[in-house]
Amino acid sequence: MTSLAYQISPADFRQRRMLQVTIAVLALLPVFAGLCGVVTGAGFLGVKAGPTDLDSHVRFLSGLFLAFGVGWYTCIPAIEKKTERIRLLAILTFCGGLARLSSLVIAGVPSIGHLLGLGMELLVVPCIVLWHGRVSRLGRR
């Protein structure tokens, strides 16, 4: 059995590798932020301890954020075959971005970190899906 590297051109292999590296780097954000939120609650946002229910909610959502990051990492091996998983993670991430956008409209402009997250969720993630579609087609040639 030949490896994928021998089935596609060197340029196509570089595209695949660049997508894998990009996802590996970008997934650091939800993993790190999720871990921080799970460990410190809202403290990692600079918020002093609040009501117990708020702390519980922040830690729960941080656990989901951590799971999203780990989910993106599971897409890296054989990335060209992970279409359904990548699309599901992208839809979930995009929906979170829409919720964050509603907060911007309702509550006001958040900190720069949250604005960057909003850009990742609503702009970068859809671009990753399009890029993955190209890489996936290259793998099927």
Give the pLDDT confidence score for residue 98 in this predicted structure: 98
Question: Residue ranges of the alpha helices (H) in 1-124?
Answer: 4-7, 10-26, 28-40, 52-73, 83-107, 112-119
Interatomic CA distance for residues 41 and 34, integer angstroms: 10
Q: Where are the domains of the chain?
A: 9-140
- The candidate with the shortest Cα–Cα distance to 90, out of 59, 133, 135, is 133
> What is the per-residue pLDDT for 123?
98
pLDDT score, position 44? 83
Q: Is the dihedral of CA 60, 65, 66, 67 positive or negative?
A: positive
Residue spans of the chain under pLDDT 50: 1-2, 5-6
Predicted pLDDT at 1: 44
Q: Model confidence over 46-83: pLDDT tens digits?
A: 888 778 998 899 999 999 999 999 999 999 999 999 99
The predicted structure's pLDDT at residue 3:
53
Structure tokens at 137: 């087609």
Pair of tokens at residue 66: 């951590």
Predicted structure pTM score: 0.88
pLDDT of residue 70: 98
